[in-house]
């Protein structure tokens, strides 16, 4: 059983681990909020506009208007870029947060000075913010004021953020290699290994979520992937034949088939990805439980809320095909539950660090 003094020593003020824990949770919370806002305000509207652009392209084929086809594809490209950069912003912010928490776990095995570790932590969080912010701005900034022919300033910001992350990770890896070559004990207190209910539940629940996501992915690969890959060119070919020969008389049928196929692919892959992502999050948060300074009852509540949201979101994303926007709304609610639980745990960690700092100040 870890004593309070051992626990306090593993989370000292202004340490790299503390910075990585707070920065990591903040990145994950912001990434989740962004994902929820994107799902509510952008995703479905963007899908509708993509469908409209494809209709315009097929109608242009029927009119034999090559210029209008090119214009429709330019618009489609812009819509895909807008959607793609927002999905990437969400994913990269979450992944940078996960990596920050993972780095917080391995700090005892990084043989570098405390000041270097702290600077690396600060740079990692800076890069973790710059990368997704840069990605988000790519669609809006474009090539404005850029001296480069194809790379805009937002891309430069994103690439610099990514480069900072890579450099920090390489230096941390060098620190781990130095630790291994020296063959010594951990350089700073390890994270407590107490087998509490909250930790066991998050570890086993997280592993189960990853497993369910993996089974879902395997099921998709076995049952749907090849069928979808066969259907897509068939639908496109039929759409073009109809546009060329029948003046796009069956256009609505083809567009509905194409949209239905894209929707089915998107929800199944999103359900798979979210199960795995939330599983990893639960496992990472299990290590932070000793620092969550809340009553046992509230600690358990946040664990249950987090796991419930982690199941609700992917399950109802999957059900969007059958139940449409109602399922989408419930899925967004699931995401909100995860976000609330995460903030609840963050408050507990802040209380703990505050109590440590005030005790240190008083001493």
Partner 1 sequence: MNPSRRILIFGGLALAAMGMTYGLHYALFVEHQTLDGMGSSLAQAFTNAAARKMPEAQRAVTDFAATKYDYVRQVDVHSHWIGLAMLMVLLGVAFDQVAWSERFRRLLAWGMLLGSALFPLGVMVQTIDHGFWPRGLAILGSGLVMASLALIAFGFARKT
Residues of the shown chain interacting with partner 1 in the complex, contacts defined by CB under 8 A: 57-58, 60-61, 63-66, 69-70, 72-73, 77, 98, 102, 105-106, 173, 193, 195, 199-201, 203-204, 207-208, 210-211, 214-215, 217-218, 221-222, 229, 232-233, 236-237, 240-241, 243-244, 276, 280, 283-284, 286-287
Query: Smallest gap, in angstroms, from Cβ of residue 61 to partner 1?
Result: 5
Which residues, at least 6 apart from 321, have a Cβ–Cβ distance to it below 8 Å? 263, 264, 267
Q: Which residues have a Cβ under 8 Å from the Cβ of 186 and sit 6 or more positions away? A: 108, 109
How far is 121 from 71, CA to CA, in rounded Å? 46
Shortest gap between Cβ of 347 and partner 1 (angstroms)? 24
Look up residue 316 and give its two tokens.
Answer: 């109802």
Radius of gyration for the alpha carbons in the chain, expressed in angstroms and rounded: 24
Which of residues 140 and 226 has its CB atom nearest to partner 1 in the complex? 226
Query: Shortest distance, CB of residue 37 to partner 1, whole angstroms?
Result: 24
Nearer to partner 1, 61 or 327 (CB): 61
CB of residue 205 vs partner 1: minimum separation in angstroms? Answer: 8
Contact by Cβ (8 Å): 107, 117: yes
Q: Give me the least distance between CB of 131 and partner 1, in Å please.
A: 15
Written as six digits, the tokens of 228 are: 């979808």
* Residue placing its CB nearer to partner 1 in the complex, 64 or 358: 64
- Number of H helices and number of E strands within the chain? 11, 0
CB of 144 to partner 1, least distance (A): 22
Q: Decide whether 203 or 319 has the Cβ nearer to partner 1.
A: 203
Query: Which residue number, 23 or 217, has a Cβ lying nearer to partner 1?
Result: 217
Whichever of 186 and 326 has its CB closer to partner 1, that residue is 186
DSSP letter string over 160-215? HHHHHHHHHHHHHHHHHHHHHHHT---SSPPPP----HHHHHHHHHHHHHHHHHHH
């Amino acid at each position: 059983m870890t004593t309070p003094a051992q626990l306090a020593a593993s989370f000292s003020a202004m340490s790299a681990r503390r910075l990585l824990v707070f920065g990591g949770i903040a990145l994950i919370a912001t990434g989740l909020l962004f994902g929820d806002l994107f799902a509510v305000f952008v995703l479905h509207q963007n899908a509708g506009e993509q469908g409209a652009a494809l209709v315009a392209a097929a109608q242009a084929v029927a009119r034999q208007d090559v210029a209008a086809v090119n214009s429709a594809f330019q618009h489609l490209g812009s819509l895909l870029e807008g959607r793609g950069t927002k999905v990437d912003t969400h994913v990269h912010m979450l992944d940078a947060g996960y990596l920050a928490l993972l780095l917080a776990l391995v700090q005892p095995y990084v043989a570098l000075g405390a000041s270097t570790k702290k600077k690396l932590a600060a740079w990692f969080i800076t890069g973790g913010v710059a990368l997704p912010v840069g990605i988000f701005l790519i669609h809006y900034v474009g090539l404005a004021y850029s001296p480069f022919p194809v790379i805009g300033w937002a891309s430069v910001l994103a690439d610099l953020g990514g480069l900072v992350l890579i450099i920090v990770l390489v230096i941390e890896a060098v620190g781990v290699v130095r630790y291994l070559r020296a063959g010594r004990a951990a350089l700073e207190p390890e994270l407590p290994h107490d087998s509490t209910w909250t930790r066991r539940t998050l570890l086993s629940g997280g592993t189960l979520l990853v497993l369910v996501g993996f089974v879902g992915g395997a099921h998709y690969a076995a049952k749907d992937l090849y069928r979808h890959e066969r259907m897509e060119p068939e639908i496109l070919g039929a759409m073009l034949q109809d546009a060329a020969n029948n003046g796009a008389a069956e256009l609505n049928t083809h567009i509905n088939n194409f949209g239905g196929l894209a929707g089915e692919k998107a929800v199944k892959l999103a359900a798979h990805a979210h199960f795995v992502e939330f599983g990893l999050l639960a496992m990472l948060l299990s290590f932070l439980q000793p620092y969550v300074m809340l009553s046992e009852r509230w600690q358990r509540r946040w664990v249950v809320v987090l796991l419930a949201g982690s199941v609700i979101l992917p399950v109802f994303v999957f059900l969007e095909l059958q139940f449409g926007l109602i399922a989408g709304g419930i899925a967004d609610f699931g995401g909100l539950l995860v976000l609330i639980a995460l903030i609840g745990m963050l408050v507990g960690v802040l209380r703990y660090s505050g109590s440590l700092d005030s005790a240190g100040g008083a001493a």
